[in-house]
């Protein structure tokens, strides 16, 4: 933040983003593009990669998610529906709604996910 309390602009290079595996799902990795630690006052933007054959179990989040598909074709389950997605598709997953992912293709999937800053409780659905 600047001395006036206004956020400062940030340019983070792709090579500066570290990707880490997500514990709850084998084949899913996450890189934080921008968040509070970069001075973003309201939202965190992350990039996820979903390996071929990977599946993310049913879960809920305490906060909404907005997603934009960058690469691959995979299935996203939201509520009671499964929807195939591909590059250019955008999704809104409301807070508290069950969702999951499955990449049955031969190519990795990738998407941007934006969430509000702050705590997010993730609960796996059995």
CA–CA gap between residue 71 and residue 81 (Å, rounded): 21
| Beta strand segments in 11-120, E | 19-21, 28-34, 43-50, 55-61, 65-71, 74-78, 81-85, 90-93, 99-102, 109-116
The CATH number given to 16-117 is 2.60.120.10
Which pLDDT tens digit goes with each residue over 54-68? 999 999 999 999 999
* DSSP assigned state of 6: P
Q: Identify the residue with better confidence: 119 or 45.
A: 45
* DSSP assigned state of 104: -
CA–CA gap between residue 22 and residue 31 (Å, rounded): 10
The string of DSSP codes covering 75-99 is EEEETTEEEEE-TT-EEEE-TT--E
Per-residue confidence (pLDDT) for residue 96, from 0 to 100: 96
User: What are 31's two structure tokens?
Assistant: 């890189």
Which pLDDT tens digit goes with each residue over 67-78? 999 999 999 999
Whether pTM exceeds 0.85: yes
Listed by start position, the domains of the chain span 16-117
Which pLDDT tens digit goes with each residue over 24-34? 889 999 999 99
């Amino acid at each position: 933040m600047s001395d006036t309390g206004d956020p400062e602009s940030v340019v983070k290079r792709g090579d500066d983003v570290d990707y880490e595996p997500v514990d709850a799902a084998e084949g899913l990795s996450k890189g934080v593009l921008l968040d509070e630690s970069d001075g973003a006052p309201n939202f965190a933007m992350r990039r996820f990669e979903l390996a071929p054959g990977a599946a993310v179990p049913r879960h809920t989040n305490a906060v909404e998610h907005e997603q934009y598909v960058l690469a691959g074709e995979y299935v996203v389950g939201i509520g009671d529906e499964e929807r195939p997605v591909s590059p250019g598709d955008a999704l809104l997953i409301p807070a508290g709604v069950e969702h999951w992912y499955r990449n049955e293709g031969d190519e990795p999937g990738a998407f941007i996910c934006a969430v509000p800053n702050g705590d997010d409780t993730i609960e796996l659905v059995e």
